[in-house]
Amino acid sequence: MVGMIAYPLKFRAIYKQRIWGGRKLHEVFGKELPASEKIGESWELADLPKDKSVVINGELAGLNIREAIEKYPAEITGDEDFPTPFPLLIKILDAEDVLSVQVHPDPETCRRTGRGEPKTECWYIISAADDAVIYKGLKEGVTREQFAEAIEKGTVAEMLVKVPVKRGECHFLPAGTAHAIGPGLLIAEIQTPSDTTYRVFDWNRVDDAGNARELHIEQALESIHFDMSGDELPVTTMGRLVDCEYFKIDNGHQSKDCEVLLSPGGMKTLIILSGLGTILGTEEEPVEFSAGDCLLIPAAYKGAMRFAGDTHYLTVTL
C-alpha cells in the first residue's frame, strides 16, 4: 500500500442534546447547532460503538477515525499495530444548568462487576460565570453508609467538595470520583473513551414530560472511591496540565504572527480554544484552524502552525 501524505485531520462535531445544555457552543465558537435544542455536548473526537468522528478534509474525508487509522496506522499513530478504540474522547461542554452528581468506574470496578467501561477525565475551564462552581470529590471522612443515607435524604451535595472555579483552570478527575458541574460553565473535557456514567442525584429535576432521569445508585456506590477526598485532587493552570497514564495535556499560548514547528515522531491532538491560523506542510494544502476546532496531527506530519491572531490551545498526547 502506498503511504499517505500526512496532513492535519479535522472532524465533524457530534452534538448531544442535554437537559442542562444551552446555545453557547454557537455563541462562542459559531458551531451550527440543531435549531431549538439545548445542546450540552459537542463531541470533537470520538471512537465509541455508536459515535465515531468523521474526517471532513483531505484524502481521508468521509472516513471515520477508526477507518482512517486502519488504512494508515503507522502514518497517523506511529504504530503499525495501534490498538482500538482510539484512546481519547474529547468534548466541549456547555453547562447552562447544573449536571447530575455522578461517577465513572475504574478498570478494577469494571472487571469486578462485569459491566461498563472505565473513565478518567479532566475539565479545562474555557469560561465561567462569576459564581461558577464544580462539585469535585467527597469531603474528608465521608463513608459509603453516610453517602447512601444522603442519597435517600436528597442531601448528596452536602457530602461533596464544592469548588469555585474560574477561566484557565484544569481539574483532574480520576475514575471513582463523585462529581458534578455547576451552571455557567464552558468546559473542554478530555477523557478516556467511555460513555459509562452512573448518576446518584439529579437535583430533583424532571424533563419537559415531567419524568425524572434514571439513577444508578447501586452501580455508583460500587464505583466511588470512598478513601479519596476531593481536597486531594490537583488544579493546574500553566504548562503541563495533566500527566496521567492515559493522556498528557499541555497548555499553549501564541501571539499573532508567531510560528510553531510540528515535527514527525508523535501523534498529537490540538484543541483550539481561541484565535486562528493555518497549519502548512511541504506537500499538502494548508489547513486552517479557528476557535472550537479539534485537529489530529499525524505522527508522520511535518509542518508549522502559523498564527493569524493571539491563540490559546491545548495539546493532547498519549
Tell me which of 18, 112, 199, 213 is the catalytic residue: 199
Q: What count of residues does the chain have?
A: 318
Q: Say how far residue 244 (Cα) sits from the centre of its chain.
A: 15
Q: Is 199 a catalytic residue?
A: yes
- Whether the bond into 298 is cis, omega within 30 of 0: no
Angle at 122 between CA 116 and CA 126, to 5 degrees: 135
Confirm if 90 and 167 have CB atoms less than 8 A apart.
Answer: no
CA 294, 121, 29, 205 dihedral sign is positive
Quick one: 131 exposed, middle or buried, by C-beta within 10 A (0-12, 13-18, 19+)? exposed
User: 201: closest CA among 220, 184, 188?
Assistant: 220
Residues noted as catalytic: 199
